[in-house]
Structure 1
Amino acid sequence: MSSLPLAVARRHRRGVRHTLDVRVSPYAYVAPFLLLFCAFGLFPLAYTAWVSLHDWTLLSDEHAFVGAANYATLLADGYFWNAVFNTLSIGVLSTAPQLVLAIWLAHLLNRPLRFQTLFRVSLLLPNVTSVVAVVVIFSQLFGRDFGLINWVLSWFGAGAVDWAAGTATSHVALSTMIMWRWTGYNALIFLAAMQAVPRELYEAATLDGASGFTQLRRITLPMIRPTIVFVVVVSTIGAMQIIAEPLLFSASSGAGGVGASGGPDRQYQTLALFVYEQGFTKFDFGYAAAASWLMFAAVVLVAGVNYLLTRRMRGGLA
């Protein structure tokens, strides 16, 4: 008779452990990430918003509260709007061709090829290459006097182009660097999505006489639409945060205005580079924090619009 209460007690303890395991364990598993996110993500984000409301410079001991004055000054700053234009221009020039080329490369690699693994691994080489090395090499390719690009253009009678001096030419040069680094990476993402498309669809389309381009347009693109939306949104966010390429381009190309100004006439200063200049060159942290929050709002807005537009591709691709 004494064993019955003991069995009930054991069953009760097992029930309590099971309840705790089901209800508490998931929170314990995600707790390390949440703690790190709050410490290094959420708190800096909130603290930056607080700093943006103050006249906060490195050399001052007191930080006067100025409210939205930093934002008002920023919206009237011509250099800020120049950085917005440069960011959008470089982003469009690098993102749109990059995605088209990535889909085309993925479509080619989705077919039976010899040395298929070698080609797929090769697509990642630009992405794992140091951005400093990429900028140095491409700056030499786009050099005014001895650059390979100008040498090729001279075959067609074109004069030497100072790629780092003009707005349009510098944007083309920077966009080429970004495309070279990220096209292969995005192509592998598209390739993974294409391999999940049922082969029976292609076999049926082949029997119906559909060409490779028709199969790509009618089968592949509609089937990988969620992946296209993901890549477009992520690429847009990345394009809005470009900083390393323009920061190093002046020094590597030998142009004036080396540093965070983005060229002697700020012809390729991006938003991220503008924030860097205000915070770590001029040490105006309040102004830089306000610029970073407007940059954050711009990233959310552009990514949201891009997401909605890409979702509407559904009717056009079907």
Structure 2
Amino acid sequence: MDSVYRKGNKGGKKRSSEKRKNMISSYLYIAPFFIIFAVIGLYPALFSFYLAFQSWNGLGDMSFVGLNNFRIVLEDPLFWKSLYNTIIIGLIGTAPQIVIGIILAILLNVAFLRLRSFFRVTIFMPYITSMVAVALIFSVIFSNHESSLANYVLGLFGMEPVSWATSEWGTKIAISIMVFWRWVGYNTIIYLAGIQSIPNDVYEAATIDGANKFQQVIHITLPLLKPFIILTVFFSTVGALQLFSEPTVFLGAAAFTRDEAMTVVMYLYRDAFRLQSFGTASATAIILLVIIVIFAAINTYVASGRLGKKKGRG
């Protein structure tokens, strides 16, 4: 009995040792991700939170100023102008992506459409296109010259030419169209994946019950796309409030000297890297984080509630 106990005890220790080795090796495999995340993601975030309560130009000594940086930002009219620009451009450029993306996904999923793979790749191309190329294309389309493509189209409808890069609403509309053009394909592919995950048996049963294509879209496709729509609404909201690349490349060097398309992130960037005021820039980042959380929660709740009501009617 004693020998059997010893053998069992040795076997248990061996299994425990192997389990410990496997656990250690597993942690070693995933350690690079957490190390990189801590260095690139976590540390800058914590340091930025610390800087929000300091006055620092990036080179000299820091001095604690409490909530003064937040007061400076919230009392600055340019900050509120940048927030207004961000919301307006976000609404014009992002909201139509949801509707148009769903429509395009439904069209790309129909069985009788020829060259479906070609159209799917084509509609996703703007998302992977270089921002330099996008800037060149849209600077030509929305040139201030009367013969630019955008002004030519307006002329066909008897409208006056617009100074797209200098006027208040002209700049906002041009940037919004750039945002829409670049991101609508991304949302479309997500919706297309969601539609293809819906079993065909559901549509066949609806067809037998006498439901037409439009009724199937309203009562089957949209309710079952609810998780995908909520996902895209969340990401679109976050992306719209972090808008930076499109206004910067469209306006070029003048992007930070004019307020027609100054976004919150551009305001933050200007404070940090042009005015060397890292304290107010960090305070702006925290304020932006709060705004993103609020807007994302509201948009996600609204999207979830409306789709839930539609699903309940079906």
TM norm structure 2: 0.91
2:290 to 282, 286, 297: 297
Deviation, structure 1 residue 25: 6.0
More displaced 10-residue stretch of structure 1: 3-12 or 121-130? 3-12
Deviation, structure 1 residue 292: 1.2
The residue type paired with residue 222 of structure 1 is: P
The reply on whether 1:109 has 2:99 as its aligned counterpart is no
RMSD value, Cα = 2.1
CA distance in 2, matches of 1:214, 1:160: 43
1:77-226 to 2 correspondences below 5 Å = 77-112=76-111, 113-145=113-145, 146-226=147-227
For residues 160-216 of structure 1, what are the alpha-carbon distances to aligned partners after superposition, in whole Å with 9 as ceiling and x for unaligned? 111222222211111111111111111111111111111111122223333322211
The structure with the largest helix share of the pair is: 2
Aligned equivalent of 2:307: 314
Q: Which amino acid aligns with 1:83?
A: S
**Structure 2: unaligned runs, 5 residues or longer:** none
What count of residue pairs does the alignment treat as equivalent? 309
Check whether the contact 2:233–2:300 (CA below 8 A) recurs between aligned residues.
Answer: yes
Contact 2:53 2:66 in 1 (8 A): yes
**1:271 paired residue number:** 264
* Structure 2 counterparts to residues 43-54 of structure 1, below 5 A: 43-54=43-54
Shift of 1:259: 3.4
Change (3 A) 1:115 1:283: same
- Residue pair 2:223, 2:308 contacting (<8 A) in 1 also: no
Q: Runs of 5+ in structure 1 lacking a partner?
A: 252-256
2:255 is equivalent to residue 259 of structure 1: yes
Structure 1 SS opposite 2:50: helix
Q: Does 1:13 align with 2:13?
A: yes
Q: 1:114 to 1:14 in 2, by over 3 A?
A: farther
Distance (Å, rounded) in 2 between the aligned partners of 1:23 and 1:267: 56
Equivalents in 1 of 2:237, 2:102: separation in Å?
A: 16
Residue 254 of structure 1 corresponds to none
Q: Does 1:250 align with 2:251?
A: yes
Give the TM-score, by structure 1 length.
0.90
Helix, strand or coil at the partner of 1:259: helix
